[in-house]
Amino acid sequence: MKWLLTILFVFTLEQVIAHTIVVGRNRHISTLRQGITAAKDGDTVLLNKGTYKEGNIIINKAIHLVGIGAPVLDGDNKHEILTLTGKNIVIKGIHFANAGYSSMNDYAALKIIEATNILIEHNVFTNAYFAIHIANSTGSIVRNNIIKGPDRSEHLSGNGIHLWKCENMTIENNSVQGHRDGIYFEFVTASIIKKNISEGNIRYGLHFMFSHNDTYRDNIFRNNGAGVAVMYTKNVRMENNVFDKNWGPSAYGILLKDISNSFIKNNQFIQNTVAIQMEGSSRIDIGNNLFKANGWALKVQASCDGNIFHHNNFFGNCFDVATNGTKTLNKFSSNFWDKYDGYDINKDGIGDVPYHPVSMYAMVVEQNPATLVLMRSFMVSLLDKAEKAIPCLTPENLIDNKPVIKPNK
């Protein structure tokens, strides 16, 4: 009982001792560096409106840094701006601008290293090489931030939100644009990415590498060099996202490369060059998605196996499915295909004739991309009809045995 009373006394004493330090140009403490130096664990530093150019400031105390009137921390295009390490730190209401660039080091406006229980919210980041760079950290949250990169070339730009070797992280409701990758995960586990808008980034809206047991849901990936790349990963849930207008010669909604045991459900793929491109991927449940007005809805390479495509809706895609193999080890069932022209005599809602979603023209284009110039020509239409009547080139076992007559709800 004594030890419990001692803990309660210490906790209460800390709350009483904790105080607020106000920083401003016309105040006793006029620089942020002075305010951080004066602060102790549990204190709050209020930073008043103004522009502060103080180089890189390190925070290694459990404090709250809160901006009043959107004060600007300016890196003067030379420095990192703020570095956090430790635990229980909050950064809120700050405008980070003009962080430095380095071809050798990952300069960031806000760098977090070996930290726990960090909260970064309601901040603005503009013109930074890396905006937020987090390494070797756990149990932290990045939410409600606005991040606008310099929109330089891929080699001169870093990532908007970059995580390396982290666990139990939450990236929520951020707006990221103009960076190399909007959000980047490498060796990040048991984490969630939700309700973010990642658009207009040079390479990927979201980039996954070696990051297992994660979830990303309710995000919008729009008009990026490519939407999302998930590589060398397992046990990922991809749900309720929108992949919109990711156009380009090598663009896609999602690239899946060497991933397994994952879920892609209830997503919308609209106007992407390739909605989903799969290479070396296995045991993925792809269901209840909308594929609309894409160049290719699905590109499934011969190296993929054990994947299930079910209860998806395909509308107005130039090619519904393409593959580079003559056989498939994947299963298609209960999908709606707008190009299906079969019948349903017993009115059970399932087509009586199996559907072959790979056209002969899709096989030709896969081998000879230049033949795309013949798109919608009479000759292509004639060849596809002949292939449907007497299949000889398309994979004979890549079929949907239960195509539905009406779109899945």
Q: What is the pLDDT of residues 138-158, one digit of tens each?
A: 999 999 999 999 877 766 789
Mean pLDDT of 97-101: 91
Is the confidence at residue 50, as pLDDT, over 90? yes
- Arithmetic mean of pLDDT, 72-94: 95
Average pLDDT over residues 335-363: 83
How sure is the predictor about 28, in pLDDT bands with cuts at 50, 70 and 90? confident
Instruction: Return the pLDDT at 358.
Output: 81
Residue 95 forms part of a structural domain: yes
> For residues 122, 123, 124 and 129, what is the CA-based torsion angle, rounded to 10 degrees?
-130
Decide if 7 is inside a domain.
Answer: no
**Given pLDDT bands bounded at 50, 70 and 90, which one contains residue 26?**
confident
Residue 375's pLDDT is what? 58
Q: Residue 164: what pLDDT?
A: 97
User: What's at 89, amino acid-wise?
Assistant: I
pLDDT tens profile 256-290: 999 999 999 999 999 999 999 999 999 999 999 99
* β-strand pairing of 20-23 with 329-333: unpaired
pLDDT score of 391: 56
Q: Which of 38-42, 66-70, 362-366 has the lowest mean pLDDT?
A: 362-366
CATH code of the domain containing 208 = 2.160.20.10
Domain count, the chain: 1
Split at pLDDT 50, 70, 90, the class of 344 is: confident
| 138, 109 contact by CB (below 8 A) | no
Is residue 171 in some structural domain?
Answer: yes
Whether 294 shows a pLDDT value over 90: the answer reads yes
Share of the chain above pLDDT 90, in %: 68
Q: Using the predicted structure, report yes or no on whether residue 374 has a pLDDT greater than 80.
A: no
What's the chain's average pLDDT? 87
Residue (of 145, 100, 109, 98) closest to 124 by Cα position: 145
Question: Which structural domain range is residue 117 located in?
Answer: 20-339
Name which of 135-144, 155-164, 309-318 the model is least confident about.
155-164
Which pLDDT score is estimated for 395? 61
371 in any annotated domain: no
Mean pLDDT confidence for 56-71: 96
Nearest to 168 by CA among 183, 145, 185: 185
Q: How confident is the model at residue 317 (pLDDT cuts 50, 70, 90)?
A: very high
Residue 179 CA: distances (Å) to CA of 115, 196, 397: 24, 15, 43
Location of structure tokens 């001692």: 6
Average pLDDT of span 339-343: 87
Neighbours of 58 (CB within 10 A): 15
Decide if 212 is inside a domain.
Answer: yes
Predicted TM-score of the model (pTM): 0.87
pLDDT for the residue 388: 58
- Three-class HEC string of the chain: CHHHHHHHHHHHHHHHHCCEEEECCCCCCCCHHHHHHHCCCCCEEEECCCEECCCCEEECCCCEEEECCCCEEECCCCCCCEEEEEEEEEEECCEEECCCCCCCCCCEEEEEEEEEEEEEECCEEECCCEEEEEECCECCEEECCEEECCCCCHHHCCCCEEEEEEECCEEECCEEECCCEEEEEEEEECCEEECCEEECCCCEEEEEECCCCEEEECCEEECCCEEEEEEEEECEEEECCEEECCCCCCCCCEEEEEEEEEEEECCEEECCCEEEEEECCEEEEEECCEEECCCEEEEECCCCEEEEEECCEEECCCEEEECCCCCCEEEEECCEECCCCCCCCCCCCECCCCECCCCHHHHHHHHCHHHHHHCCCHHHHHHHHHHHHCCCCCCCCCCECCCECCCCC
Higher-pLDDT residue of 191, 150: 191
Confidence of residue 377 (pLDDT cuts 50, 70, 90): low
Distance separating alpha carbons of residues 244 and 153, to the nearest angstrom: 22
pLDDT at 196 over 70: yes
The pLDDT of residue 366: 60
Predicted confidence (pLDDT) at residue 399 exceeds the cutoff of 60? yes
Percent of the chain with pLDDT over 70: 85
Cα torsion for 12, 16, 18, 19, to the nearest 10°? 160
What's the rounded mean pLDDT across residues 371-388? 56
Instruction: Note the pLDDT of residue 11.
Output: 40
In a domain, 375, yes or no: no
Residue 5 lies in a domain: no
Within a domain: 356: no
Q: Cβ of 83: how many Cβ atoms within 10 Å?
A: 17
Report which of 160, 168, 40 is spatially closest to residue 115, judged by C-alpha positions: 168
**Contact present, 261 and 236 (Cβ < 8 Å):** no
217-256 pLDDT per residue, tens: 999 999 999 889 999 999 999 999 999 999 877 788 999 9
Nearest partner of 183 among 167, 165, 198, 202, judged by Cα: 198
C-alpha–C-alpha distance, residues 88 and 111, integer Å: 15
pLDDT at 382 over 80: no
The span from the CA of 111 to the CA of 80, in Å, is 8
User: Looking at the DSSP assignment, which residues form a beta bridge with residue 404?
Assistant: 336, 350
